Amino acid sequence: MTELTTAIVDLLGYGCELINAAAGGKAIYRRYKMLARQGENMGFVPLVVYSSKELLEALQENLQEAQAKTCLEHYEKTLPQVDDIDVGALLHARLSLAFAGQDPAALLGDFAEVRTPESEDRLCQSCRNHAREVLILKCPAKQAWELPLLLPMGGFGHCPPPVEQAAVFQFWQQTYDAVPVVAAFDIWEFRVANPPLQLMEAEQLALQQFAFDYDLVLQAHREDGDSIRALASHLAGAKAWYFWWS
């Protein structure tokens, strides 16, 4: 384990496993699923994490903000705050900011002619691009939506802070049975058991995701256009979601 990854592990306050990124995304995802089954009986939720200097710095900053020494202490301190967040109001406020100065019709755009929903097989496939070492955390969470509080990244630029992430994740887990699988200092990847199947439902989800992560539309660079409806076309039936912040 590198000195950098050791420093990240020292901040956790709970257990994890180390995997070489060279093992590849498929092997890492297989191990994740095995640990997910174990965790149901042993009281933990796994999370694949890409080690990096930026992640270490993000953890340090968010722990300092919460006056916590470890990620576990951060979780214990911030979990009660999630109940105070009105997710609908939060996303509406962020959506209003996203639309400010934009052409609403162009931002809404058109549905794609060809729908290409993501398969869960794509999860963890970016590991070699992001890290030499990969951790699978054994997070002492009761629900997967709590994971941003146990790996408190975010709070920079347009990326929501950990407590807001957890509130939104709770809503998506309840609505779509969507759970976070992968995290880095600037990304989240989700496995989705109950995605919307119709385009109009997917459009509502796309609006929520755009509010949560502006780059999904403004930095998407899709062949079928950077718009909310183009995003919706790919979300309909998708078993995996991706978020990133530049």
User: Is 90 exceeded by the pLDDT of residue 182?
Assistant: yes
User: Is 60 exceeded by the pLDDT of residue 224?
Assistant: no
Task: Provide the token pair at 205.
Answer: 């989800």
Q: How far apart are CA 47 and CA 25, in angstroms?
A: 14
Residue in the block written with tokens 């993000």: 58
Least Cα distance to 213 among 238, 235, 197 occurs for 235
Q: How far apart are CA 199 and CA 234, in angstroms?
A: 9
Query: If pLDDT is split at 50, 70 and 90, which confidence band does 222 have?
Result: low
Question: How crowded is residue 166: how many other Cβ atoms within 10 Å of its Cβ?
Answer: 27
Strands 45-50 and 16-20: unpaired
Which pLDDT value is given to residue 137?
Answer: 98
Q: Which domain holds residue 53?
A: 3-244
pLDDT tens-digit series, residues 90-142 = 999 999 999 888 888 989 999 987 777 788 888 888 776 777 899 999 999 99
CA–centroid distance for 209 within its chain: 11
Counting the structural domains of the chain, the total is 1
Query: If pLDDT is split at 50, 70 and 90, which confidence band does 212 have?
Result: very high
Q: How far apart are CA 231 and CA 237, in angstroms?
A: 12
Which pLDDT value is given to residue 226?
Answer: 82
Number of H helices, E strands in the chain: 12, 6
